[in-house]
Chains A and B, each alone.
Chain A
Amino acid sequence: MTHTSRRPLTSGKAQVVDYTLALRKKPRIGERAIQAFLFLCGAVSILITVGIAFELGKESWLFFRDPQVNLLEFLTSTTWQPAIGNFGVLPLITATLMTTFFAMLIALPLGLGAAIYLSEYASPRARAVLKPVLEILAGIPTVVYGYFALTFMTPLLRGIFGSETVQIYNTLSAGLVMGIMILPMVSSMSEDALSAVPRSLREAAYGLGATRLETALKIITPAALSGIIAAFIVAVSRAVGETMIVAVAAGSGPNFTFNPFQSAETMTGYIARISGGDAAYDTPDYNSIFAIGLLLFLITLGLNILSRWLVARYREVYE
């Protein structure tokens, strides 16, 4: 860019300048190109979702179109034996439900309890020690938790309940360890919700002579309820989608049972097993993983949307 439009710094005659030219809008192609590229980057995220929906949908469609497969049977039958044409998804769902149930049994009350402790009771020094511990727990890869379930939790359960009752692979062990894994997440999200409650509310309660427990349980927690429930729902969604712990410790092979001491295969465990195995492409056996995957995607998506809606709808307005 030339300098015809510059004025001299010290006073002197201003040079004659063509302002029409100087002020005219420059094409700035570089700027526009960069902006277009950045827009594409932003659009990639949409492409991912479209891709997930499309691929899952397409392959599931192929699965359901196969004459051996019947949608009604898929959703209601309790046997899954592709070899003889039985494609009932319920065994996988009950296994998922069981592991999720046991996980929530640990993660929800203990996670909320830890959150209340950290937010209402703990001294700053205690928090400085405890919060990193929870963060470490949250950062451990799930396959390590699977190892823990198989080598620690299962022998522990067998020791308590007896080796005859508790099989080597069982949903209880996987569920409990999953709960340990999810606990830090519940704790951290709940703690955020609790901390967001303004100090003035606490002071009002204490000023009336309430004990710390009464304030925490009857004033603060209800005020933070929408955030806490959102945390719970996200925890459930996480448990449903978890793969490695169940793949290692819960068992392989669908099994329709409500006995937590027996082995059973969850939806995620099933997908991992079949895709890691030798089934040929384009058999109903193989395509079933897409159908299960679609189910999984819809469930977790629904849960996440529900949690977000709850937060938006019931968010307390404090001031």
Chain B
Amino acid sequence: MSTEPIQNAAWSDPRLSITRRHRVGRWWQGFFFASTLFAILALAALLFSVADKTMGLVVIENKVAPSALSSRPLEGLSKEELISILEANLSRNRYRTINREETVDRRSRDEIYDLVIGEVVRPKVLMSYPLSQSLLRRAELEAEKAERWPEASLEFYTWLKPHFITSPMSASPELAGIRTALLGSLALIAISILFAFPIGIGAAIYLEEYADRKSWLNRIVQLNIDNLAGVPSIVYGILGLAIFVRALGNLTSGAAIGYAGDNGRTILSAGLTIGLLVLPLLIINAREAIRTVPNSLRQASYGLGATQWQTIWYHVLPAALPGILTGTILAVSRAIGETAPLIVVGAATYITSDPTGPFSKFTALPIQIYNWTTQPQEAYRNIAAAAIIVLLIALLSLNSIAILLRNRFSQRA
């Protein structure tokens, strides 16, 4: 039997096809790389489009110029001086109404200042330009402003400022802030985690430590949780609407305990709905964390005559805690950004008062962003962008903490 190499006649010249194959390979590699690049560019475009709108040149017109009210800049005036300006420039009725809500003496200096700006100066943004344009095409913009709004002034304006975070909502975008929304979001997260954390960890402990893996009931539960994780968030909203707002309306509106609520569209309902939404994620994460605890630890504990719960409480849970915490933080990041369920459950579109308890009407940061984005005036886009920046910073911090936690504890093990 011949052991000579197979005749080459039937094969084409390998050197030619190799070049072509490499060329084709490089083309495809380019495509794959471009796909990845696309993602990076998309992220950059998104961040840019948001940041671009948070500050820039604005054409602003004041109903009453600050210079007409006082020779010194308004920011430097004392509380008494500001009060006198207020008194002098408001109608008697209006001043009385403001005083009735809360007397001017009891209000802080900052509040009086806000009132002066809001009620007397009444700035109105006629046109706002994105940052990029403000920097690059300044001369053009000045020309345009001179032509269309000769009376107004062109100034550099930041929409994202401390005042933005501390002020409540307002009818005019120049004065609006996200305080109500921030507090609402915080309250929502608190309620949802208070609800979902114990139940989620409890379910994970049961499924990992007590339940028989092979039983059909356990497998159905497992399947069920995986399915729930994939249900669109708006369906959770509908569930929350049907159960918490309507069916349990008496409880969630506070009527059952004598609170004068009129419907179930409260923070409580919204918080519970979000809690349901993050529950499957919490369970899945907690199960993973519990599963990574080595069995030798459990055996050591049982070998000493400990009961099952003693073993879990003193050994399994502490070992699984970092993983569980990371999972909780991820659940919180998810919860902060959810909007659709809140719309369905009935977020209020316009509230100025801070939430006072679980039975208050509510709004949340993403709801504000949604409302403002869909308003026609350009200025609303600006404050939407500012709110988005706040939201993204919050998310970034949360995720960084989660990553730090994960790294720190995986080193220790």
A and B directly contacting (CB within 8 A):
yes
What residues of chain A have their CB less than 8 Å away from a CB belonging to chain B?
Answer: 28, 30-31, 34-35, 37-46, 48-49, 51-52, 55-56, 59, 109-114, 116-118, 120-122, 130, 133-134, 136-137, 139-148, 150-152, 180, 183-184, 187, 211-214, 217, 234, 237-238, 240-244, 247-248, 268, 271-272, 275-276, 281, 289-290, 293, 296-297, 300-301, 304-305, 308
- Given the known A-B contacts A55-B243, A121-B33, A151-B381, are A42 and B370 also in contact in the complex, defined by CB atoms under 8 Å? no
10 contacts between A and B (CB under 8 A): A35-B309, A38-B210, A46-B221, A121-B33, A147-B385, A180-B46, A240-B232, A241-B234, A271-B237, A275-B344
* Residue in B221, B344, B349 with the greatest tally of chain A CB atoms within 10 Å: B344
Cβ–Cβ contact A130 & B228, under 8 A: no
Main SS at interface, chain B: helix
Using known A-B contacts A37-B202, A114-B32, A248-B374, determine if residue A301 contacts B227 with beta carbons closer than 8 Å. Answer: yes
- New A-B pairs, 7, CB < 8 Å, besides A52-B231, A141-B336, A271-B344: A31-B307, A42-B206, A137-B42, A148-B49, A244-B366, A276-B346, A290-B242
* B230 interface contact, C-beta 8 A: yes
Most buried by A among B228, B232, B333, B349: B232
Query: Interface code B296-307, partner A: CB below 8 Å = 1, 0 otherwise?
Result: 000000000001
> In the complex, which residues of chain A have a beta carbon less than 8 angstroms from the beta carbon of B309?
30-31, 34-35
Q: Which of B71-79, B115-123, B159-167, B388-396 contacts A (4 or more CB under 8 A)?
A: B388-396
Nearest to A133 among chain B residues (CB) is B40
Within 8 A of A (CB), among B306-357: 307-309, 333, 336-340, 343-344, 346-347, 349
Question: How long is the Cα–Cα vector from A44 to B385 in the complex, in angstroms?
Answer: 39
User: By the criterion CB–CB under 8 Å, are B385 and A117 in contact?
Assistant: no
In the complex, A44→B199 CA distance in Å? 8
Please, which residues of chain A bring their CB within 8 A of the CB of B338? Answer: 141
Q: How far is the CB of A277 from chain B (nearest CB, A)?
A: 10
Cβ-defined contact, B242 with A55, below 8 A: yes
Asked whether any CB of chain A lies closer than 8 Å to the CB of B187, the reply is no
Contacts of B224 in A (CB 8 A): 45-46, 49
Q: Residues of B within 8 Å of A, CB-based: how many?
A: 84
**B349 cross-chain contacts in A, Cβ below 8 A:** 276
Tell me which residues across on chain B come within 8 A of A38, comparing CB atoms.
Answer: 202-203, 205-206, 210
A37 to B34, CA, bound (A): 53
Residues in chain A near residue B346, CB distance under 8 A: 275-276
Q: In whole angstroms, how far apart are the Cα atoms of A78 and B50 in the complex? A: 38
A217-B28 contact given A187-B39, A243-B232, A308-B226, CB 8 Å threshold: yes
Whether a CB of chain A sits under 8 angstroms from the CB of B233 is yes
Is B92 close to A, CB under 8 A? Answer: no
**With a CB–CB cut-off of 8 A, which chain A residues contact B409?**
none
The answer to whether B43 touches A137, judged by C-beta atoms less than 8 angstroms apart, is: yes
What total of A-B pairs shows CB separation below 8 Å? 257
User: Is the pair A281, B230 in contact by a Cβ cutoff of 8 Å?
Assistant: no
Cα separation A272 to B119 with both chains bound (whole Å): 35
Tell yes or no: B238 within 8 A of A by CB.
yes
Bound form: Cα–Cα A265–B115 in Å:
41
Q: Residue-by-residue, is B13-24 near A (CB-CB < 8 Å gives 1, otherwise 0)?
A: 000000001101
Contacts of A55 in B (CB 8 A): 238-239, 242-243
| CB atoms of A140 and B392 under 8 A apart | yes
Q: Of the candidates A133, A238, A248, A297, which one forms a contact with B39 in the assembled complex, judged by CB atoms under 8 Å apart?
A: A133
B36 within 8 A of A: yes
Contact between A45 and B225, CB atoms less than 8 A apart: yes
Complex alpha-carbon distance, A296 and B239, angstroms: 13
Stretch at the interface among B54-62, B105-113, B145-153, B276-284: B276-284
Interface of A is mostly: helix
Q: Which of B28, B280, B344, B366 contacts A143 (CB 8 A)?
A: B366
- Expressed in whole angstroms, the Cα–Cα distance for A276 and B25 within the complex equals 52
Whether the Cβ atoms of B46 and A290 lie closer than 8 Å is: no
CB-CB under 8 A from A49, the residues of chain B are 224, 227-228
Q: State A248–B374 Cα separation when bound (angstroms).
A: 6
Chain A residue numbers with a CB within 8 Å of B230 are 234, 237, 300-301, 304
> In the complex, A259→B346 CA distance in Å?
32
A137 and B40 CA atoms in complex are apart in Å by 9
- Note all chain B residues with C-beta closer than 8 A to A144: 46, 50, 337, 369, 388, 391-392
A241 to B29, CA, bound (A): 33
Bound-complex Cα distance A180 to B38 (A): 9
Contacts of A117 on B, CB cut-off 8 Å? 29, 32-33, 35-36
Nearest-CB residue, chain A, relative to B395: A139
Decide: A293 and B235 in contact? CB cutoff 8 A.
Answer: yes
Q: Is the beta-carbon distance between A146 and B28 smaller than 8 angstroms?
A: no
Q: Is the CB of B369 within 8 A of A44?
A: no
Among B49, B238, B243, B340, contact of A290 (Cβ-Cβ < 8 Å): B238
With contacts A28-B307, A117-B35 taken as known, whether A296 is within 8 angstroms of B283 at the C-beta atoms is no
Any A CB within 8 A of the CB of B190: no
B158 on interface, CB distance cutoff 8 Å:
no
**Which B residues lie within 8 Å of A122 (CB)?**
36
Whether, in the assembled complex, B188 has its beta carbon less than 8 Å from a beta carbon of chain A, the answer is no
Is residue B207 within 8 Å, beta carbon to beta carbon, of the partner chain? yes
CB–CB A293/B234 < 8 A:
yes
Contact of A289 among B45, B46, B238 (CB under 8 A): B238
CB-CB nearest in chain A for B247: A55
Q: Which residues of the other chain, B, contact A148 by a CB distance below 8 angstroms?
A: 45-46, 49-50
Contact between B39 and A271, CB atoms less than 8 A apart: no
Complex contact A151–B370 (CB within 8 A): no
Q: Are B49 and A152 in contact (CB under 8 A)?
A: yes
* Complex interface: chain B residues within 8 A of A211 (CB): 21-22, 25
- Least CB distance from B386 to A in Å reads 11
Complex: chain A residue closest to B46, CB-CB: A148
Whether A214 contacts B369 by the Cβ 8 Å rule is: no
Q: Considering the chains assembled together, what is the distance between the CA atoms of A42 and B241 in angstroms?
A: 23
Within 8 A of A (CB), among B351-402: 366, 369-370, 373-374, 381, 384-385, 388, 391-392, 395, 399
